[in-house]
Chain A
Amino acid sequence: MLSQETLKRTPLFEEHAALSARIVPFGGWEMPVSYEGIIAEYDQTRKSVSVFDTCHMGEFLIEGDCQKSGLNRIVAHAISDMPLKTCRYGVMLNEKGGVIDDLIVYRLDKEQWMIVVNGATMEKDAHHMVSHLTKAALFKNISSKTGKLDVQGPLSRDVLKSFIPGIERLEYFGFDTFEFLGERNIVSRTGYTGELGFEVYFPWGKTRELWRKVLADKRVKPAGLGARDCLRLEMCYSLYGQELDETISPLEAGLEKFIDFNKDFIGHGALLAEKKKGVPRKIVYFTSETRQSPRHNHKIYLPNGKEIGIVTSGSFSPALQKGIGIGLIRREADITEGKILFGDEKSKIAASPSQRPFYKNGSLKS
């Protein structure tokens, strides 16, 4: 376990404390899990606008030709055809095809890239990148200098355009640099909630100023990791450490559409062999028949009690007013009957496999 002393703080730690946020350790950071309450913050995001502190996430800058730099081999998704000022979600794999991290690549210029990674894996990711980039690449880890706020919700564009003019032009998974609060910085139309939203990058030391500026708009409230997890789970977005890790193949995690088998990438051979042979597990999205919710590490069973897998994420869904979950089950498990159970030896709860996402009415593309 990490001791209290070694936990890192974002530049907004005092802001969270002043708002009486509940602070928890998360991936080596002290982060706010909730302020007013998870469901209130969830509703705020679905109906208005929330601001999330995501300063813990990692950012790398890479300069160099897509091929010659080695970057194209490091990520498993297609990036050479990315138009400038667009972002693309993908994964970075080890030789065995396990997921080192999921990430978003930003194409800043023809030969300039920004890679945004998870906070908990940032150092491991940087090490992996540096060891596989060629001499033709210039790598800079700007994580400790880069603050980030996620502004998410159907009214997020209206809120931000009041001080970031031009932001209304951004399309889904597009980004640009904008001048605001005396700085020139990247804003992308991306997020993790299923709502219209933006990720705003800002100098670490000035992030507090941006936070206060956003919160000065009465339509905005702060939201924590609890609401964030609930929102992403309703959208069936993977969370690294739960749906994804170095022992889980992206094919098992349902991410095949983010893999470009037509190019060479680290883990290509292992993944292709797996694709031909079939992966041992498959992902399942399911809804509880009651308000009782599945939990991380609950088991999944067939109606006859036979164990077929594990729950990777679970929560109560405010949109559906029942429990929802994601799990990994054995490939050969036949769930076409439409009924499974989740729980433990002591108690098992009935559930039904479901299509993704659980939440379909988001403002994501509005």
Chain B
Amino acid sequence: MNVPDDLLYTKDHEWIFLDGPTGLVGITDYAQSALGDITFVELPKVGQDAEQGDQLASVESVKAASDIFSPMAGNVIEVNGKLESDPGLINRSCYEKGWIAKIQVADMEEKSNLMNAEDYRKLLESLEEKE
């Protein structure tokens, strides 16, 4: 599983890339692989506010629907419109072209509730052991 070093992660397999006061949000390689072929993404609305852990978006695969939670509190300033016609971008490029939303982060302190790449890799290892 690909786990880039420069991102922060949630236990629900979302990632956030912090760039100054904004954060780019998506789902991890583990999540896209577990979901399988993604067929639909319900994007948040620009201007929408979310608390840390609030539902931000939802993604559907052929057989299931899953909620995507906001890794940090913030205001949505941009969404990835390309996912509307090509939701498979998440499968093909979950950390780059398949990003879901960009948020204006409300509280940088919330970073402490997230995992760095090393901790997230440990979480994935423990999940694999369970399987």
Contacts and interface: CB of A to CB of B under 8 A. Distances in A.
A10 interface: no
Interface in B32-80: 36-37, 39-40, 42, 60-65
B23 interface: no
B63 A292 contact: no
B87 interface: yes
A283 interface: no
Contacts of A318: 62
B62 to A, nearest CB: 4
B63 A315 contact: yes
A316 B65 contact: no
A290 B65 contact: no
B62 A292 contact: no
Interface residues of B, number: 12
Contacts of A316: 39-40, 60-62
Contacts of A38: 36-37, 61-63
B44 to A, nearest CB: 13
A65 to B, nearest CB: 45
B40 A293 contact: yes
Interface string A171-214: 00000000000000000000000000000000000000000000
Interface residues of A, number: 18
A226 B39 contact: no
Contact of B39 (A33, A40, A293, A295): A293
A292 B39 CA distance: 8
B20 to A, nearest CB: 34
Interface in B59-116: 60-65, 87
Interface in A264-313: 290-293, 295
A230 B62 contact: yes
A229 B60 contact: no
Contacts of A37: 36-37
A204 B5 CA distance: 49
B63 A229 contact: yes
Contacts of B62: 38-39, 226, 230, 293, 315-316, 318
A40 B92 CA distance: 14
A156 interface: no
A363 to B, nearest CB: 22
A34 interface: yes
Given A38-B62, A315-B62, A316-B62, A291 B36 contact: no
Contacts of B64: 295
A291 B40 contact: yes
Nearest to A295: B65
A38 B63 CA distance: 9
Contacts of A33: 63
A33 B39 CA distance: 17
A316 B62 CA distance: 5
A36 to B, nearest CB: 10
Nearest to B39: A316
A37 to B, nearest CB: 5
Contacts of B42: 292
Contacts of B37: 37-40
Contacts of A295: 64-65
A34 B64 CA distance: 14
A295 B40 CA distance: 13
Contacts of A292: 40, 42, 60
A252 B70 CA distance: 43
A226 B61 CA distance: 11
Nearest to A293: B60
Interface of A: 33-34, 37-40, 226, 229-230, 290-293, 295, 315-316, 318, 323
Given A293-B40, A293-B65, A316-B40, 17 more contacts: A37-B36, A37-B37, A38-B37, A226-B62, A226-B63, A229-B63, A230-B62, A291-B60, A291-B87, A292-B40, A292-B42, A292-B60, A293-B39, A295-B64, A295-B65, A315-B63, A316-B60
4 closest Cβ pairs, A-B complex: A316-B39, A291-B40, A39-B37, A38-B62
